[in-house]
């Protein structure tokens, strides 16, 4: 069977926005797909070692619920995605941005990512 190509982009860093792209990336990578996991200027915070997942207002219950359910942390899930072969990219970083990435990520122009997305079997952004 032809290998699938999946491009997932994390646009936001709130807890409820961080899990879906990582879940899709892990699921796709574990089923053998080539996965590009990209982060926008806001989503890139997820990659920072100092990142703490905080839900949006009125969704605070999610933190406890995820914890009670024994769900992996955002950084643990990111680690699983990397282990499974997902490639990490960041777009639109400013030269003045200072990040301490938990995993190496290549900086690419948004046009490159959109070209990859156009050629993918599945492109999603969250």
Partner 1 sequence: MANKKFVYFVSLSSNVPYVLKKALKNAEEDNEVSIFFDLDGARVLDKRYLKIMERTHNIDLQKLMQQALDKGIKFFGCQMNVLIADGLELMDGAELSGVATFLETAYQADAVLSY
Interface contacts to partner 1, rule CB under 8 A: 4, 6, 16-17, 19-20, 23-24, 26-28, 31, 33, 59, 62, 65-66, 68-69, 71, 121-126
Distance, CA of 32 to CA of 110 (rounded, Å): 25
Q: Which is nearer to partner 1, 15 or 88 (CB)?
A: 15
Report which of 123, 120, 86, 126 is spatially closest to residue 2, judged by C-alpha positions.
Answer: 120
In whole angstroms, how close is the CB of 123 to partner 1 at the nearest point?
A: 8
Measured from the CB atom, the residue of 23 and 99 that comes closer to partner 1 is: 23
Question: Any bridge partners for residue 85, and if so which?
Answer: none
Task: Work out how close the CB of 94 gets to partner 1 at its nearest, in angstroms, rounded to a whole number.
Answer: 26
H-type helices in 33-73, by residue range? 61-68
């Amino acid at each position: 069977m032809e290998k699938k190509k999946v491009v997932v982009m994390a646009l936001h860093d709130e807890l409820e926005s961080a899990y879906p792209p990582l879940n899709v990336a892990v699921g796709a990578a574990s089923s053998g797909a080539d996965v590009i996991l990209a982060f926008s200027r806001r989503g890139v915070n997820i990659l920072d070692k100092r990142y703490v997942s905080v839900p949006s207002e009125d969704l605070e219950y999610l933190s406890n619920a995820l914890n009670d359910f024994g769900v992996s942390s955002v950084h643990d899930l990111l680690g699983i995605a990397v282990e499974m072969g997902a490639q990490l990219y960041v777009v639109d970083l400013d030269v003045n941005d200072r990040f301490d990435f938990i995993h190496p990520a290549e900086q690419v122009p948004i046009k490159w990512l959109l070209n990859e997305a156009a050629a993918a079997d599945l492109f999603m952004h969250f």
